[in-house]
Structure 1
């Protein structure tokens, strides 16, 4: 955690431009056990949807930490890539959400494909509070405050491609990561993009054929990577 991320409702005004916040959850544990912080120490803070700043610890014990903070620094720029991901198994989803959020993705689209287990769509990891926790962990890692949006599309793959993907790709370059494609992944930003990543085992041929009607296939090279590794590699190449 490189940032203590606060909710707007946790801020109590103290004076013009300064606030107080009290922590009594895992952020308190992080201050005490990881940072080994003491009263008088300063830490980086941010407010969800708002600015970054610095906070001074004015009280700290095993029950709570009280911070006094000032804000004024903008969060880092977003990565203008919509990540459309065939829903992976829950542990992989957690990794992707955290890592892609840390890299600046602000819109996730989770969809169904032939090699996606139907049970994944009823997993605990898709509950709102679980998604929010993973997104917060990514923001805290990267010192960001803008919470990404997550959309879930359990409908049939063909319907998703025909009815949803055009809107997701409007004004963007649609790219589908597919091992064996003749075009290598770009190594620099190409502007706004929609990146489509398949499940473990890849898209089946019929899905590839459907995607080729609306997106350009790109390849990362001869190595076959796990989904969480491929996503990070692809986003890193598409970053400015």
Structure 2
């Protein structure tokens, strides 16, 4: 936890918060706080600053906070991701959030197991839990938006044209594809398939919508590894 993420419900006064949940236990274990110690904090969807320890007990910590800095700039990216299996989804959500992705579309694909759509991981509170962990890791506060799209064809035909307007539209595909383009800080829409990749029909539909197929080399990576590699290739460090 490189930033203590604050929520409006934590505030007991305009500049004072009380924390008594898993964040408190993490702070107590890893920061070993003492009176007057300063900790990095940030308000969800708000500014970043410092929290000064004013009270500490076995059940909670009280901080006086000053929020005066903007969070890191987001990546100019919309990520379209074929729904991974639940454990991989958790890790991937945390990773892309920590890398600054703010728009995430989880979509269906021929190789996506139907059972994945009924996983408790897709419940809003569970998704948000992974997003919060990613924000805390990165020292960010801007919560990504996660959209669920269970029907591939209507999504590609009806929504994608507007989503990719004025952006660099790319689909990660290891076959018959161009090498990943050089890093540029420009609006990008990136589609990443499931384990085993998109089927030819799906790649063709994406290309018809305006996507260019790219690859990152001869090695085939798992989705949770391929996504951060792609982002590090597509955007300047």
Tell me the TM-score normalized by structure 1: 0.94
Show the counterpart of 1:167.
162
- The farther-off stretch of 164-173 and 44-53 is 164-173
Q: Which structure 1 residue ranges, 4+ long, deviate > 6 Å from structure 2?
A: none
Query: Which one of 196, 218, 224 corresponds to residue 201 of structure 1?
Result: 196
Show the counterpart of 2:38.
42
Task: Tell me the CA shift for residue 190 of structure 1.
Answer: 5.1
SS state at 2:102 partner: strand
Show the counterpart of 1:227.
223
**1:91 lines up with 2:87 in the alignment:** yes
For 2:228 and 2:187, the matched residues in 1 are separated by: 17
Query: Which one of 171, 176, 180 corresponds to residue 176 of structure 1?
Result: 171
**1:210 lines up with 2:197 in the alignment:** no
Show the counterpart of 2:186.
191
Task: Tell me the CA shift for residue 132 of structure 1.
Answer: 0.7
Contact 2:179 2:214 survives alignment (8 Å): yes
**1:106 lines up with 2:102 in the alignment:** yes
Show the counterpart of 1:13.
13
For 1:133 and 1:186, the matched residues in 2 are separated by: 33
- The farther-off stretch of 209-218 and 4-13 is 4-13
For 1:224 and 1:175, the matched residues in 2 are separated by: 17
Contact 2:76 2:185 survives alignment (8 Å): no
Contact 2:12 2:18 survives alignment (8 Å): no
SS state at 1:212 partner: helix
Show the counterpart of 2:137.
141
SS state at 2:140 partner: coil
Question: Aligned residues, how many?
Answer: 235
CA deviation string 1:56-89 (max 9, x = no partner): 1111122111011101000010001100000000
